[in-house]
Structure 1
């Protein structure tokens, strides 16, 4: 489902050069739940952005769901992203002037993949899946942090993407709410979605079946949990 091959990402900061990623290789399959961990500045979010097609590598290739992202123009990449990858941000990124349901419907409208008459019913189904259907017509500002993150997950699933990437999805949540969000992500992986999650929280990473550790822009360790 995801294949990152010899990927490097270099940024120029004035006259200085910063290597965020250096020759990274990573493969993840449908139904796999992978935690990407490492210290601040290790390249975690950069790697996630490359897999989501938000950024492009300086070298190497990124292939997601059979598509080589390097072969796509910016317009085609944006259209591909809307159909193929759901993105969950740490700070939710819900549009404040739209209701929760309208936020979930927005990706459907932008991609055009869901007929107009089907969009609200699908949004309500997704909100019910994450446990907040009763809040569909509320504005994001009236929701708790955990409820907003659930709404963000529902929005990420709007176009039924085969890949979901989540950048610190529990970082701003209390322990109980973070646990509930993690349960949702585990359920998505069990249903066949390829889930890749960046986290700095050790206890969260320990619950995920596979952990990829980055250090100085390289894969330092790739381990799978040992079944009890």
Structure 2
């Protein structure tokens, strides 16, 4: 694993009790015990845990640990020729428990667990949207965003993947940065734009966002274009504590 951490100005802390996998889901779908691991499980203080915390080896690269990770991303011009959203089969139910990928993310990221009904319908629950730092009390007000949008992934190398690999990318529950529950309005504002074109409206989340974007690109061996690399490098210069952690997909 390529290891790193990133800091944020948001008033949240890392829960030392929990491990890395935020998709440790209780098989009985109980709504009362704490879900453990990841960005937004209920911490001891009942506040959302923001993204990942300091674990493992520190990334090398001096004061700007995100810099080397950004520099290591392969450069290539982007092309959207042939893209259709249907090229990425998403919101599958890989473990056949009745909850598709979108719902799995909503369950995992709830800071107050929702009630899970028939066919994995969610009611009640509380979430925290990183992009605009908003608390949300209805699952229907949330979108599950691909950190690197499907169209951007296509532009950056996924056009040459097999259908199975594109499906795995679109439903990646094995990395906490790949998918994130955010308010629908911010997800739709972002659309398929990269960091040269869009950053979260909450400025305090820019360092976390650039780290997560870079981690996702590195995990899936996706390329960056010149404008994207420059935007990431410029943002990283303002985030001396930002680092990147990812586990490459074979």
Superposition TM-score, scaled by structure 1 size: 0.33
Superposition TM-score, scaled by structure 2 size: 0.31
- The structure that is helix-richer by fraction is 1
- The structure that is strand-richer by fraction is 1
